[in-house]
Amino acid sequence: MSVQDHDYDAFLSTYPEYAAAQHIDELRAQEFARVDDQGHIYLDYTGGSLYPERLLREHMALLSQAVLGNPHSQNPTSLAATSLVEQARADVLAFFNADPEEYDVVFTANASAALKLLGESYPFGPRAHFLLVADNHNSVHGIREFARSKGASVAYIPLDPDSLRAPDPRPYLEQGASAQPKLFAFPAQSNFSGVQHPLAWVELAREYGYDVLLDAAAFAPTNRLDLGLVHPDFIPISFYKMFGYPTGVGVLLARREALERLQRPWFAGGTVQLVSTKADLYILSHGHEAFEEGTVNYLSLPAISNGLRFLQETGVEHIHARVAALVDYLLTMMQNLRHSNGEPLIQLYGPRDAERRGGVIAFNIVDPNGRLVPYQQVEAEANEARISIRSGCFCNPGAGEYSLTHTADEIRACVEGASREGAFDIDAFRACLGEKATGAVRASLGLVSNFSDARAFLDFLITFADRKAEDFPSSGGCN
């Protein structure tokens, strides 16, 4: 028996829930064989999931026998496409246990497009308020620009720099209580730290009169989101993050009542009942139709039904259990990694344990003298080892700034110092932050992550033991 076999047996006995979901190992062998055949260690599931080959076969079988036209007509090929699109809509609602009377499904290109639809349509005005947790994706932060342009106030809930969790939101919700309307945004799972912010905040904020935007893009791939239990008003999701194929399709799941209160800033093909050039008027459609601009991605939408069925059959709970076991194992092992002088090799950002967090681990490598190894170097060496990770700030500047301890004054001063005659020099900005880390490394687990991936990753990290930071080139920033 090799060391690896022995480790695996020990792992299985520590995490029986992983052992109980070993059908996912068979799935990986059958449907994802290309990954191991090509020697890939894939640890960027929060960037995008890998897809099972089955989804390609199923979709190709449909496309090669169906005759599908643009769903905006009433002819037979159009009606065939409409029926598949509506089936996908119903499948999305069923997957998230959303009552069709309560929720509507707006198909978009991705989660960011869903967020933009919301941002540009939310009835922000001088009496409105936008409250958001600092730990959000840029595509959520961007909504503040729509809010401000219409005179609304914007407030952030800060993070604890150590745990990267947010405090009790009640005082912040209270501060905006007299505003109308008001929107509160938080991610169900951070794409930076993996922190899972409490879903109980949804009902709490609604009690204060807020509409709630729950970003589930990083959460939905490995956690059950049950919209029979929690009732956020708006939920953006990208399907490629859930099952890998197809890209280019996302959704804004929205409570029908909240969707009706949004105000579209324009109209487009597909969103109107009537437009007149002579009378210069238009009458919008209702529900999702008012938001699906132009032609939906009707050839790809049937693949969403297949992907959701695949996840259902595989079992989100099983995927979740495996990811939770692997994260617990990795966190424990990473914190035990040492240089020969006994100093730790890894600086973790966010929670040190697997409680209330998902399959995302953000960290930097530190040298035997406690100096940071440039994350670009870590990524470059990972690339050589065919390990796919991500580095930088992962489009989550808030969690980046809190964990890397950049202050507002520092950032403003460095932006000013790096700006000359209207041009911004990102390298000068990074240099200005001096010794502080300007980004981190992220490993994220998902659908078919397994013990071998975790072991290979740990073996890779160990190669940095006893190496000095000054031996590496440095540069880089949060993006």
Ligand X SMILES: Cc1ncc(COP(=O)(O)O)c(C=O)c1O
Contact status: 144 vs ligand X (CB under 6 A): no
Classify each residue of 442-459 as buried b or exposed e, where b means 16 or more C-beta atoms within 10 Å of its C-beta: bbbbbbbbbbebbbbbbe
CB of 137 to ligand X, least distance (A): 3
Q: How far apart are CA 41 and CA 455, in angstroms?
A: 10
Neighbours of 231 (CB within 10 A): 17
HSE toward the beta carbon, residue 144, CA cutoff 13 A: 14
Paired tokens of 231: 């009732």
Of residues 395, 414, 432, 478, which has the active-site annotation?
Answer: 395
CB of 138 to ligand X, least distance (A): 8
* Contact set for ligand X, span 9-48 (CB under 6 A): 46
Q: Which is nearer to ligand X, 111 or 308 (CB)?
A: 111
Contact status: 139 vs ligand X (CB under 6 A): yes
SS3 of residue 407 by DSSP: coil
Among residues 403, 408, 407, the alpha carbon closest in space to that of 393 is found at 403
CB of 157 to ligand X, least distance (A): 16
Residue from 52, 169, 181, 187 in contact with ligand X (CB under 6 A):
187
Site string for ligand X, 101-120 (x = CB under 6 A): ---------xxx--------
Q: Which is nearer to ligand X, 71 or 307 (CB)?
A: 307
Whether 292 and 86 have beta carbons less than 8 Å apart is answered as no
* Contact set for ligand X, span 45-84 (CB under 6 A): 46
Strand pairing category for 419-420 and 423-424: antiparallel
**Is 414 an annotated catalytic residue?**
no
CB of 217 to ligand X, least distance (A): 4
Contact status: 238 vs ligand X (CB under 6 A): yes
Contact status: 215 vs ligand X (CB under 6 A): yes
Contact status: 388 vs ligand X (CB under 6 A): no
Residue from 49, 121, 191, 271 in contact with ligand X (CB under 6 A):
191
CB of 88 to ligand X, least distance (A): 18
Q: Which is nearer to ligand X, 242 or 373 (CB)?
A: 242
CB of 189 to ligand X, least distance (A): 7
Helix/strand/coil (H/E/C) assignment for every residue in 52-109: CHHHHHHHHHHHHHCCCCCCCCCCHHHHHHHHHHHHHHHHHHHHCCCCCCCEEEEEEC
Contact status: 137 vs ligand X (CB under 6 A): yes
In degrees rounded to 5, what are phi and psi of residue 417? -65, -25
Q: How far apart are CA 59 and CA 299, in angstroms?
A: 9
Q: How far apart are CA 173 and CA 428, in angstroms?
A: 38
Q: What is the contact surface with ligand X in residues (CB under 6 A)?
A: 46, 110-112, 137, 139, 187, 191, 215, 217-218, 238
* Residues forming the active site: 395
